Structures are given as structure tokens and as C-alpha cells.
Amino acid sequence: MPMLTRKGLLDITTVEVLYDPSKGWENLNRALLHYHLYPERGPIPRNVIPEHPPAEIMERVQRISVLSKVKADQLLAANAAKHRMETQGRENALDLIDGPRYYYPS
């Protein structure tokens, strides 16, 4: 995985906070407390973050979810194909060495 840039970190954090504002607000305050960031200012007020997620964020998360599922399905299919090819390759190698094998159902 490549390193996350500052812009990328801010973008991901923004999407996560706006997708679930209540949980995001709690997590931001937890991070500020844990890392001792701006202790003189105290916790972030809840009214700073919207009450409900914006429609653009919901659409963006939906698109990302669909793309992630497609990519995961492609990786699974590729891995299954690779496994089938490796298995066939091993069987072919054994056939070259020992001759064909026959399997009889028990």
C-alpha cells in the first residue's frame, strides 16, 4: 500500500466523519484527547458537524462500496483461476513423470 498523503488522510477522515456524524464526532474528540492535540481548546462542540450526512457523501460511499465489491470479486475470480491453473500444472507434471492416473469412485 502506498503511504497516505496529508490530503488523502483529510479526505478519508472527512468522508468518515460526515458519513456517520455522531460516531465521527466521538472519534474526532477521542483522537484529540489521545494525542493531546489542542488541550487548551477542549473537545469539539457537536454543533460543528452536521446532524445528518450530506447526500453527496452518501452517494460517494455507495459508489465506493460498489467499486470495492467489483474489485474484490475480480480478485477472487483471478485467485480461483490461478489455483485451478496451478492444480492442472501439477497434474500435468505428474502425468509426464508417472503417466496418467485414473480415479475410481468409491
Q: pLDDT digits over 8-57, tens only?
A: 889 999 999 999 999 999 999 999 999 999 889 999 999 999 999 999 99
Is 83 found in the same domain as 49? no
SS3 category, 49: coil
Confidence band for 1, pLDDT divided at 50, 70 and 90: low
Q: How far apart are CA 37 and CA 30, in angstroms?
A: 10
Tell me the per-residue pLDDT of 53-101, one tens digit each, with 9 for 90 and over: 999 999 999 999 999 999 999 999 999 999 999 999 998 888 888 877 7
- Asked whether residue 48 falls in the same domain as residue 59, the answer is no
Torsion angles phi and psi, residue 78, rounded to 5: -65, -40
Range(s) of the domain holding residue 95: 55-106
State whether 74 and 37 are in the same domain.
Answer: no
Task: Please check whether residues 85 and 68 belong to one and the same domain.
Answer: yes
Residue 98 grid cell:
508417472
* pLDDT-based confidence at residue 102 (cuts at 50, 70, 90): confident
What total number of domains does the chain contain?
2
Cα torsion 86, 88, 91, 93: sign: negative
